[in-house]
Amino acid sequence: MIAGTGIDVVDCAAFEALLREPGSAFEARTFTAAERATSYARRSGAPATHLAARYAAKEATVKALSQAMAPGPLPRALADLSEIEVRCDGDSRPSIALRGRVLSLAEGAGVTRLHLSMSHDGAVATAIVIAER
Ligand SMILES: CC(C)(COP(=O)(O)OP(=O)(O)OC[C@H]1O[C@@H](n2cnc3c(N)ncnc32)[C@H](O)[C@@H]1OP(=O)(O)O)[C@@H](O)C(=O)NCCC(=O)NCCS
Q: pLDDT of 26-69, one tens digit each?
A: 999 999 999 999 999 999 999 999 999 999 999 999 999 999 99
CATH 3.90.470.20 corresponds to the domain 2-132: yes
Per DSSP, the residues of 9-30 read: EEEHHHHHHHHTSTT--HHHHH
Helix orientation angle between 12-19 and 47-69, rounded to the nearest 10 degrees: 100
User: Hey, where are the domains in the chain?
Assistant: 2-132
Q: pLDDT of 69-80, one tens digit each?
A: 999 888 878 889
94 lines ligand 1 (CB under 6 A): yes
How many A from CA of 92 to the centre of ligand 1? Answer: 8
In whole angstroms, what is the distance from residue 78 CA to residue 116 CA? 19
β-sheet bridge partners, residue 101: none
42 lines ligand 1 (CB under 6 A): yes
Q: Is the pLDDT of residue 82 over 90?
A: yes
32 three-state secondary structure: coil
